[in-house]
Chains A and B, each alone.
Chain A
Amino acid sequence: MSRIATFGNDLYTGRRSIDFVGRAKTWYAISAVILVVALLGFVVRGMNLGLEFTGGSEFRVATAGAPSDYTTRATDAVRETAGAGASANVSVIGGSTVRVQTEELTSDEVRAVTEDLAGQFDVQPAEVSASLIGPSWGESVSQQALRALVVFLALTAVLLALYFRAWKMALAALIALAHDMLITVGIYTWSGFEISPATVIGFLTVLGYSLYDTVVVFDKVRENTADAFETRRQTFAEAANLAVNQTLVRSINTTVIAVLPIIAVLVIGFARLGPGTLVDLSLALFVGMTVGAFSSVFIATPLLAQLRSRDRAVVELDEEAARYHERHPAQQSAPATVGAGTGSHAATGSERQSTPTRPREEAPADPDAPQTVTGRTVHKYAQAGPRNQPRRTPRSKR
């Protein structure tokens, strides 16, 4: 506990810092691999559209325990009504429920098959759930899902543009969003689950969550970089990185707490229920929330730093911050400058984290800098003393 709290403290103050921005290439590589794996899902397994989209009939028989020859029994029941050529896709879900999917049958055929199935599995007809989806219904459901996706994305883009009023932020958030979406859908495809309307609403919810996650981080980024622009002591990348670190504990806690109930649903659902509204939705949300938390920390912010690294204001800031660091080489409290030199820094950053002061501290450029007994440099604030007090802003602006 105390270690976590200390860790939180350290992240907050920037004393310990994980170099999210500087090691962008590493994160990009990781997410590229995941993305490729996810996209392979589309190619290898294809989108498995559920009955609601394609039309057809589905029966679920609640048996006491599925007999071993359930496939034959179910197929027989279907063929009795629909003809010998009829195909049936039979599976057992949740241990005791037999699911039979067939081509679209007429309402009367559904009734007949229901009774046959009840006979075959020796249950009451009332124990058999039957659903019939007409082709035009499936079409309208698909259209609705597509429309929902388009409208939601458009709304999101508008919201982002309005909220950030900086197109680069909006763009970074949007890329992170697309990244989440592709991975979520890809992994869902790998799972072999059918895409149902529940899945679609799950995907849309993921969009919302992921967007919100990014907004929380970007809010802090904006706050910190605004400070940096004023004090001229931090590069843009440093300020952004500090922001991610400061929100990290919150991001982790939020995600863990949000995902915990979903995991419970998934485990129980997989074991006992099989595909259905509950499991479809939860699976989409589980993947999406996890990926969303990852992308807001590892993708969105580094991307933003890179997008802005060529802005004149940012270049100027980075130069001034670099000059400041040169003037006060040993006093750096934030991770080494990243900015334009992202690549080279990532190359040197072989350690898991870039602790403050690393690169320049090692250089014996300033042996006269004040040092503690243990030989470490005295912190810049301690060094500069009270004269260095920055202006206090009113509470409301902090």
Chain B
Amino acid sequence: MSTERRDPIARRARRVLIALLVAVTALIGALGAGVTFSDANWSPRLGLDLEGGTQFVLRPVTEGGQGVSSEQLEQARDIIVQRIDSQGTSGAEVTTQGNENIVVAMAGRPSAEQEDAIRASSQMQFRPVLATFVGSPQPEPTATESGASEGGEPESSGEGSSESPSASPGSSSPTSASRDRARVAPAEQSSPPQSEGSEGSEPAESASSSATPTEGEEGAGDSATSSAPQGGQAGADPFGWEPSGEPTSPTDPNNISKETYEKFVDLDCSAQSSQVPETNPDEAITACSEDGSLKYLLGPQVVAGSSITDAAAGYQTTPQGQITNTPEISLSFDSEATKTYSEVSSDLVALPNLGQTPANPPSSYNALATVLDGTVLVAPGFREAIPNGTASITGSFTIEEARALAQSLKFGALPLSFEVQSKADISPTLGSEQLRFGIIAGIVGLLLVVGYSIFQYRALALVTIGSMTVAFGLTYLAIALLSWGYNYRLDMAGVTGLIIAIGVTADSFIVYFERVRDELREGRNLRAAVEAGWERAKRTILVADGVNFIAAAVLYVLASSGVRGFAFTLGLTTLIDLAVFWFFTHPLLTLLARRKFFASGSPWSGFEVETLQQAGVRYRGRAQFDLPSERKPRAGVTSDGGAVL
């Protein structure tokens, strides 16, 4: 023992082993902490094919049957996420795949309605607002004062009035007079004439600020919600409604049928629904704001979203070219829509603004909602007619919100339909059966490998088994941690990869042991042979694992999504194999080589020096050997040479 203490190699080996132990303990600790304090789990999360569930692959296509850009794909993904959220499906995962597909994975099996709602086509439309109301039923809709006393009142929030969302001709507009007016002093700008429907006597900006909450930004959003009770005094149905005649224009409240109105009254934006969003451009529809705080009754479509040519967010610039810190969204339309938009805006601008309280009885208002997939993105009022097809929306949103909104306007503009590329409902029974037999196969495979290494390497197999155990533990930990931190899910392909990896891991031991044996054959003692063998095996293993890892990475990139898990676990285990080999197998063997049992070359040690050296070959280098003459082979001795074939 005392000699070992003075042996620097052994000391280093022992230190490495201890470090590994510490690292593994730390990993276990991390996972344990995750389990205790967070939502981690001791067992890895399983993929759909093992756990059961449903997976759709949807491909969004535009009207012409074409694929979509990556931004549009993201937009489409958001739409799907929203739809699923509104259904209250928990634990669903929506991811994009490649540049054209959206993968929806959920536990359980959706009903036919849910499924239809998820893959209904989406369309952006501009529709006039005919009525608004608080998004969800108020439990106590009596407190008329409370709302006003909260800080959400338009006059109390300075920016609420000055930064109300209102569409005005954009900066590229050639009509300078009105543009200047709109840009220089939006807050002071005289409002369009107010009239009957509007309860507030505030100027237009503040009136339209009640439309602001549609974007869901904080300040004005609060004001809308808090002031909601004011308008909601009459409960869920403050205004009975019966159309008084045939509608004459999209802004005519007569577009609203009795049924639609009842639907509007019943609509609860906070409740989950699996309704397919209404998109019929000729009929009035109901819709919710993004945050669900407001519900809308919207007239027929006046402009289709597909006529948006561009939308961008930026800071408003004064005519002098100075950049203010007011975020704005500029929107441009194609030539055909320009005309319509101009007409609509001149019609709307003459109408009363939406009341500051959300309870607006069905009427015609100066507000044009942009509705995407049953959700109102924004519903600004007009300050003036917009003749040139370039509108600018300002409001109390931050630049980030403005950018997000511009993105939605730009990429949600095209009508999208979703093609079902593939769909799989996997029964949990079948999935768990697959997993069970996969695990059984893995264990049997492991035993076979262990058996073979005992046969080949006798006591050395202990090193193999030990290393395999450590590798297994590390892999398990890594997968559990990845499940927790990166939402990784172990699927059948991944399990297969793990089983295949048993062989890869064992291979590195074989390379090492064979190298050590080669060194023994050259007449070294075990200690020296282990060191020399390590030096040589190291390079081989690095190359081998490097090749494997690169192959796994390439496969991961190239493989179709269903079998990606295979490449992933293959790559992961390759890395772990390297770590185990470096930090466990080698130090362990170094220490064992100092044990008498191994060093003396016991026939059961796997390094039976006697046998290995009995060839008596003395290695001269360059694959040249000294063979004792009496041991020279007899011509034609074929003993077991043929057996290998």
Contacts and interface: CB of A to CB of B under 8 A. Distances in A.
Nearest to B540: A216
A235 B176 CA distance: 92
Contacts of A6: 611, 614-615
A134 B420 contact: yes
Interface string B491-502: 111011001101
| From B49, B420, B442, residue with most partner A Cβ within 10 Å | B420
Contact of A152 (B420, B449, B558): B558
A296 interface: no
Interface string B608-620: 1001101101001
A351 B638 contact: yes
Given A15-B615, A16-B633, A60-B427, A198 B452 contact: no
A277 B499 CA distance: 13
A231 B622 CA distance: 10
Interface string B346-380: 00000000000000000000000000000000000
Interface stretch (A39-47, A308-316, A377-385): A377-385
A7 B641 CA distance: 8
B521 interface: yes
Contacts of B143: none
Given A18-B644, A265-B499, A201 B629 contact: no
A365 interface: no
Contacts of B566: 198, 201, 205, 277, 281
A224 B535 CA distance: 19
Interface in B132-166: none
Interface in A92-147: 97, 107-108, 110-111, 114, 125-134, 136-137, 140-141, 144-145, 147
Given A242-B623, A264-B448, A2 B608 contact: yes
B468 to A, nearest CB: 11
B5 interface: no
Interface stretch (B122-130, B326-334, B406-414, B510-518): B510-518
A171 interface: no
A198 B493 contact: yes
B563 A257 contact: no
B615 A13 contact: yes
Contacts of A242: 623
A111 B504 CA distance: 43
A389 interface: yes
A151 B554 CA distance: 9
- Helix, strand, loop or mixed for chain B's interface? helix
Interface string B181-196: 0000000000000000
B1 interface: no
| From A197, A223, A267, residue with most partner B Cβ within 10 Å | A197
Nearest to B564: A201
B456 interface: yes
Given A224-B623, A282-B496, A361-B635, A108 B562 contact: no
Contact of B640 (A7, A127, A136, A378): A7
Interface stretch (B234-242, B303-311, B396-404, B432-440): B432-440
| From A12, A378, A382, residue with most partner B Cβ within 10 Å | A12
B492 A277 contact: yes
Contacts of A230: 622
B421 A201 contact: no
Contacts of A381: 620, 624-627
Contacts of B109: 125-126
Nearest to B445: A261
B635 A205 contact: no
Given A1-B458, A9-B617, A144-B558, A372 B630 contact: yes
A390 B424 contact: no
Interface stretch (A65-73, A245-253, A318-326): A245-253
B424 A355 contact: no
Given A13-B615, A352-B638, A204 B433 contact: no
Nearest to A230: B622
A272 B437 contact: yes
Nearest to A118: B427
B503 A262 contact: yes
Contacts of B440: 268
A9 B615 contact: yes
A348 interface: no
Contacts of B112: 108, 111
Nearest to B567: A201
Contact of B423 (A5, A132, A267, A352): A132
A167 to B, nearest CB: 20
Contact of A358 (B511, B624, B636): B636
A344 interface: no
Nearest to B559: A201
B506 interface: yes
Nearest to A15: B633
Contacts of A145: 560
A134 B422 contact: yes
B57 interface: yes
B560 A264 contact: no
A253 B492 contact: no
A392 interface: yes
Contacts of A358: 635-636
Nearest to A259: B503
B629 A18 contact: no
Nearest to B426: A129
B270 to A, nearest CB: 29
Interface string B214-254: 00000000000000000000000000000000000000000
Nearest to A279: B496
Contacts of A372: 629-630, 632
A141 B492 contact: no
| From B449, B453, B521, B633, residue with most partner A Cβ within 10 Å | B633
B521 A261 contact: no
Given A392-B621, A393-B622, A18 B641 contact: yes
13 contacts: A1-B455, A12-B521, A13-B627, A62-B427, A131-B424, A144-B559, A205-B566, A263-B445, A265-B441, A269-B441, A281-B496, A355-B633, A376-B634
User: 3 tightest A-B contacts by CB?
Assistant: A261-B445, A258-B503, A148-B558
